[in-house]
Amino acid sequence: MKADLSPPAPSTGRVYLVGAGPGDPDLLTLRAVRLLQQTQAIVYDHLVSPEVLDYVSPNAQRIYAGKRRNAHTLRQEEINALLVKLAREGKHVVRLKGGDPFIFGRGGEELETLAAHGISFEVVPGVTAASGVSSYAGIPLTHRDYAQSCLFVTGHLKDGSANLDWPSLVRPRQTVVIYMGLGGLPEICRQMMAHGASAELPIAVVQNGSLETQRVVTGTLANMAERVAKAGLVSPCLTIIGEVVKLHDALAWFNTETPQRKICCAASHA
């Protein structure tokens, strides 16, 4: 798709960059719900749950942008151009992204394009996956006994590699949360151990966090890749690494009445 990006005519259009949270619609902000109910057009990603989309005005034009790993319905450049086009048509547009649009959501890139073409915009933050998913998995990201800092990392870079800052990932008394890291999990575990992390460091992978289909697999750096493969987890998943994962068994509260939806593998030392 190609859009005309010539200097815009005067327009009342506006783009709202909205975070949809990790999936549970109860985690939407009031501002997000109001905008979804009033929008004239919505451009949304794969990670936005159907339950969240139930809040969208029935009169709104719906455009699916995809953004699955290696399967984008629209390329990022096409999405940027589409937002400009819709706003120039005078529409109020919601650009809806899973989690928070400014945390590994490429929201900054989209706003740069809007700003360059004189399009008015607003940002509505959402509950980021790290916070929402860890909470629903019963894993505090910080804890006085285990972690005094928390590091958010993307599991794959722009060129598809996993050339991360490994020394920073293995510092003690911190929690590492890895977005989009399922495909590279074996290499992530191997590199962390190679850079000094204990093979017994606890790790959890959460699939469909905050939804009724949530599944949690726990283990250690040494055995996690095998456990995830055996469980058959698929994206979207979030990876949490650190001593705080030990608290999962005691603090898990979501879907505990339906244990078949949650795989909870004891760490090797248990």
Instruction: Kindly list the averaged pLDDT for each block of 10 residues, start to end, along the chain of length 270.
Output: 54 90 97 98 95 97 80 83 96 97 95 96 98 98 97 75 87 96 93 97 97 97 97 95 97 72 44
pTM of the model: 0.87
Tell me the CA end-to-end span of the chain in Å, nearest whole number. 54
Rounded to whole angstroms, the Cα distance separating 74 from 45 reads 10
User: What integer pLDDT is reported at residue 159 of this predicted model?
Assistant: 57
User: What integer pLDDT is reported at residue 66 of this predicted model?
Assistant: 84
Q: Which residues are catalytic?
A: 45, 67
User: What integer pLDDT is reported at residue 267 of this predicted model?
Assistant: 42
Rounded to whole angstroms, the Cα distance separating 25 from 221 reads 33
Rounded to whole angstroms, the Cα distance separating 71 from 56 reads 24
142: Cβ contacts below 8 Å, ≥ 6 apart: 148, 149, 150, 175, 244
Tokens of 205: 């992978």
What are the backbone angles phi and psi of residue 75, rounded to the nearest 5°?
-70, 155
User: What integer pLDDT is reported at residue 157 of this predicted model?
Assistant: 53
In the numeric block, the tokens 């190609």 are attached to 2
User: What integer pLDDT is reported at residue 163 of this predicted model?
Assistant: 78
Tell me: cis bond preceding 236? Omega within 30 of 0 counts. Answer: yes
Longest CA span, the chain: 66
Rounded to whole angstroms, the Cα distance separating 249 from 16 reads 39
92 to each of 36, 61, 121, 169, how far by Cα in Å? 10, 11, 10, 41
DSSP E strands in 8-119: the ranges are: 14-19, 41-45, 61-66, 92-97
User: What integer pLDDT is reported at residue 1 of this predicted model?
Assistant: 52
Rounded to whole angstroms, the Cα distance separating 49 from 126 reads 14
Rounded to whole angstroms, the Cα distance separating 1 from 139 reads 43
DSSP E strands in 54-212: the ranges are: 61-66, 92-97, 120-124, 149-154, 174-179, 202-207
Residue 72 carries which DSSP code? Answer: -
Structural class in CATH, domain 130-261: alpha beta
Tokens of 12: 């009342």
The architecture in CATH of the region 14-127 reads 3-Layer(aba) Sandwich (3.40)
Strands 149-154 and 174-179: parallel
Rounded to whole angstroms, the Cα distance separating 128 from 18 reads 12
Element (H, E) at 138: none
Give the start-to-end residue ranges of the domains of the chain.
Answer: 14-127, 130-261
In the numeric block, the tokens 């859009």 are attached to 3
What are the backbone angles phi and psi of residue 184, rounded to the nearest 5°?
-100, 15
Tokens of 250: 């005691």
